Structure 1
Amino acid sequence: MSTIRCLRTYRLPDRPSLIWLEIETDDGLVGLGETFRGAVSVDACLHGELAPWLIGRDARHMEGISRHLLTPYVGYNSSGVEVRAASAVDIALWDLAGQRQGVPIYQALGGGARPSVPVYNTCAGYSFNTGGQRRDIQAGDESAGPYDDQVAFMRDAGALARSLLDEGYKAMKIWPFDIYAPASNGQLIGLADLDKGLEPFRQIREAVGNKIEVMCELHSLFGGHSALRICQALEEFNVFWVEDPLCKMDDPAGLADLRRRTRVPICGSETLGGLRPFRDLLAQDALDVVMLDLAWCGGFTEGRKIAALAQAYNRPLAPHDCTGPVTLMAGLHMALHAPTAIYQEVVRATLATWYRDILTELPVIERGMALPPTKAGLGARLKEDFKQQPGIIVRESR
């Protein structure tokens, strides 16, 4: 037996979107999980709803626990609070599974499909939305440091591309159109704003040609007409994908229609929870690239089924991270294991700064490739000084 005896959560006032979870078992092991957004609500769900059922359960039964926690009642759809809480639990249970077997999670899942994983840099700077508010770059914003890549792509995307290439990155993701969505709730983009949004892509191609792949993120901010206009305008820059182009990414008909009318590949979606939305999108030929976030979709138990769907439909897979370090470690394990995985997302600014303050280990990146974690389970623990810092909010259920 490996009986669950304690759930412990950690939250930081200055990062109100993030919550970390430790699950202790009676064999002396501690599994680590994480999720993002609505951390106070997730905390309440974990301790008020899930802990009374989980404590005393056998931690080895990840499939049965997942099926119970993702039960299809009100609230248990897409990436709601209940699904995010269940995702944190599942990641921690798979961490425990790897530790019990003495192997990294990707090996516990069935082994690696590749010796290392290409990464791309999401140009989010040091804090895109972990402080509780979304960051959009305006005229008066200044760079917070050498890796404030969100400012960089809005000021001189060509210089940013050269910087990334110098560090070995071969792909980057930017979102210069986001600032034009609020004026019309994403329903209209005029030619002047369209042209300004295209300027970073021009700068990149003028500076480095085709030496770097470029992804465009639209953050589910646009309606069908404006998304189509942006996608068609991006065709000349040979973007690798356009991510989350529509305001509702659980719309197979709308996405399939968009995909038929543009030559840019469509990627989605980090925002979806559970297996069924991905099944519906793939069945209607609505996606070129499958993106999932293990801290939002249900963890490894649900994520490996989504990866199997991507394989069945011959679609590449790309795990998401622009949130927290545990999610990044989990995504890397999935990218190592999943047969059609092509990229792991990283943010070089957070890798170089506050991610290091939280975990004992982070992915090792060499020449644009993430190397496999070598330690059992996730391969990382919460640092003791992180857990004991002033102001941290710790809660236990036993």
Structure 2
Amino acid sequence: MKITEVRTLRLDEFPNLVWVQIGTDEGLSGLGETFFGASAVEAYIHDWCAPRLIGKNPLHLQARVNELSDYIGWRGAGVETRAYSALDIALWDLFAKARAMPLADALGGRSRDRIRTYNTCAGYKYVRDRRGQTVDNWHTGDAEGPYEDLDAFLTDAGALARSLLAQGITAMKIWPFDIAAERSGGLDITPDELRTALRPFEQIREAVGDAMDIMVEFHSLWSLPMAKRLARELAPFNTYWHEDPFRLDTPSDLKHYAEACETWICASETLNGTPAFRAYLQTGVAGVVMLDLSWCGGVTEARKIAGMAEAFKVPVAPHDCTGPVVYGASCHLSMHLKNALIQESVRAFYTGWYRELAQGLPDVTDGMIELKDAPGHGITLDEGLWRRADATVRISSRSDI
């Protein structure tokens, strides 16, 4: 089997997402995806990666990964890593299809048939803004369905918790501190801002008691002193984990944060590769390893990261708040990994716009995720997307090399 074509797709409606499809001379193809800097990733895929893939055997996965590595761009989750990640997801999808197996089985078999999910409380417009990740520009617009959960946790988090429990979902992630961080650059919070940010935790505990686990997302926005203060303020609410309290340029800083934090530390979807996660694990305070398949190096690197975490006796919780392909592949990885703790999902996405773009999404029932039986990661894009008026399609083939 030989790779004959590398094709990418971007849609103006979803400007942060780029999909990549790897085609072969035997008619099989694999689908990958990544998020942020979509046009730059597209350019890197075609300028650097495609010439190194076309004409090669896609089933020799590690060889293909080895050949893609550039002289620069391997230290952080930049354009190069996001391109490698998307391509690696596509190669694993193709690999599993060639063996007529779901990805979870092609990875070496399942550790479980279902996994618990938590709801990241985003709304329908959460990834549609080019300006980046702020509450201000994602907390806008009319609801597109019943699960405008970002508005809900900022206004009536107790009602939101009851709604999730009614679906069997017993864990939720919220980020009410972001508004203050965006104003102050993460350096300070006023008494009024602090009271407002703590109110959702009060509402959840008043409404459902300890029936709901609460994950706190800080989006890497705070200074270390302020992050420690917020950790102490949150102690009475028995939160499940604290995620990315500040930028992990130096993971060893988490040892100082742990002095004030009484719950698990969770990091980090922003880290790339085994060296960065090794630095995190070696702090001795890692509670949960969160990796994003489209930012850490793909399935190949994620397996190595998870294995390393297992050696440190630390669980893994794959990230998903981007697109349907990463979501599907992450669910397969979670079924395979021995130390997978819980899988992130966004009900506004998997009941909403994911279904506008793709088929084959995993099932979510009573707060648990189950896979379908299709080969590969099971996610296929709607064929009409490639012909949409807002689509940018670029193809590299043997004749272009």
Fold equivalence (TM over 0.5): yes
Classify the secondary structure of the residue corresponding to 1:245. Answer: coil
Q: Matches of 2:62 and 2:141 in 1, distance apart?
A: 48
Q: Output the amino acid matched with 2:154.
A: M
Contact 1:88–1:295 under 8 Å retained in 2: yes
SS in 2 for 1:48: helix
Counterpart in the other structure of 2:239: 239
Partner of 1:189: 189
1:220-274 per-position Cα deviation (integer Å, ceiling 9, x unaligned): 000101111111111111111011111x224222112111332121101000111
Answer whether contact 1:231 1:262 (CA < 8 A) is retained: yes
Matches within 5 A, 1:162-177: 162-177=162-177
**2:267 and 2:358 mapped to 1: Cα distance?**
28
Residue 105 of structure 2 corresponds to 107
Shift of 1:45: 0.2
Distance 1:57 1:127 in 2: 39
1:137 is displaced (CA, Å) by 4.8
Provide the rounded CA distance (Å) in 1 between the counterparts of 2:65 and 2:140.
Answer: 44
User: In structure 1, which of residues 79, 82, 89 is the aligned counterpart of residue 80 of structure 2?
Assistant: 82
Runs of 4+ more than 4 Å apart = 140-143
The answer (yes or no) to whether the contact 2:104–2:332 under 8 Å persists in 1 is yes
SS in 1 for 2:65: helix
> Which residue identity does 2:276 align to in structure 1?
P
Distance across 1 between alignment mates of 2:365 and 2:280? 34
Provide the C-alpha distance between the structure 1 equivalents of 2:128 and 2:289, rounded to a whole number of angstroms: 24
For 2:136 and 2:151, the matched residues in 1 are separated by: 6
- Provide the identity percentage: 46
1:192-245 CA-partner distances (Å, limit 9, x unpaired): 322221110000000000111110100000010111111111111111101111
C-alpha separation between the residues in 2 aligned to 1:65 and 1:337?
22
Please say which of residues 282-291 and 92-101 is displaced more in the overlay. 282-291
Deviates more, 1:377-386 or 1:10-19: 377-386
What is the aligned partner in structure 2 of residue 339 from structure 1? 338
CA distance in 2, matches of 1:388, 1:373: 27
Compared with structure 1, are the counterparts of its residues 240 and 143 closer, same or farther at alpha carbon in structure 2 (3 Å cutoff)?
Answer: farther
Using structure 1 for the length normalisation, give the TM-score: 0.96
SS at match of 1:314: coil
Q: Is the 8 A contact 1:14 1:131 kept in 2?
A: no
Report what 1:116 is aligned to: 114
Separation in structure 1 between the aligned mates of residue 120 and residue 383 of structure 2, nearest angstrom: 29
Q: Would the aligned equivalents of 1:128 and 1:135 in 2 still touch at CA under 8 Å?
A: no
- Contact preservation (8 Å) 1:143, 1:151: no
SS in 2 for 1:74: coil
The residue identity in structure 2 corresponding to 1:123 is C
Equivalent in the alignment of 2:350: 351
Per-residue CA deviations over 1:105-133 (Å, capped at 9, x if unaligned) read 11111111111111111001102133323
Alignment-derived partner of residue 306 in structure 2: 307
Distance 2:372 2:297 in 1: 22
Once the 2 structures are TM-superposed, how far is the Cα of residue 141 of structure 1 from its aligned partner?
4.8
| 3-state SS of paired residue (1:209) | helix
Query: What's the secondary structure of 1:75's corresponding residue?
Result: coil
Alignment CA distance shift 1:137-1:41 (3 Å): closer
Partner of 1:47: 46
- Structure 1 CA distance, aligned partners of 2:216 and 2:142? 21
How far apart are the structure 2 equivalents of 1:316 and 1:239?
17
**Correspondence 1:148 to 2:148:** yes
SS at match of 1:204: helix
Matching residue of 1:390: 389
8 Å contact 1:253–1:286 — kept in the other structure? no
Give how far 1:81 is off.
Answer: 0.1
Question: 2:231–2:260: 8 Å Cα contact kept in structure 1?
Answer: no
What residue ranges of structure 1 are gaps of 5+ in the alignment? Answer: none
Structure 2 stretches of 5 or more lacking a match?
Answer: none
The aligned residue for residue 367 of structure 1 is 366
- Residues 228 and 70 (structure 1), Cα distance of their counterparts in 2 relative to 1, 3 Å cut: farther
Q: 8 Å contact 2:85–2:294 — kept in the other structure?
A: yes
Q: Match of 1:21?
A: 20
Contact 1:240 1:265 in 2 (8 A): yes
Q: Which amino acid aligns with 1:177?
A: F
What is the rounded CA distance, in whole Å, between the counterparts of 1:64 and 1:154 in structure 2? 48
SS of structure 2 residue aligned to 1:318: coil
* TM-align CA RMSD: 1.4
Whole-Å Cα distance in 1 between the matches of residues 140 and 22 of structure 2? 41
Deviates more, 1:372-381 or 1:206-215: 372-381
Partner letter of residue 209 of structure 1?
G
Report the equivalent of 1:95: 93
Contact persistence 1:250–1:281 (CA under 8 A): no
CA distance in 2, matches of 1:137, 1:154: 12
CA contact (8 A) 2:240 2:263 kept: yes
Give the CA deviation at 1:300: 0.5
**Which residue does the alignment assign to 1:260?**
259
Q: Say whether residues 1:210 and 2:210 are aligned partners.
A: yes
Cα deviation for residue 345 of structure 1 reads 0.7
SS class of match (2:321): coil
Counterpart of 2:291 in structure 1 is 292
Task: Normalising by structure 2, report the TM-score.
Answer: 0.95
Aligned residues: 394
Q: Deviations over 1:339-391 (max 9, x none)?
A: 11111111111111110011121110110000023111111211112222222
Q: Which residue pairs with 1:319 in the alignment? A: 318
User: Distance in 2 between the 1:258 and 1:147 partners?
Assistant: 34
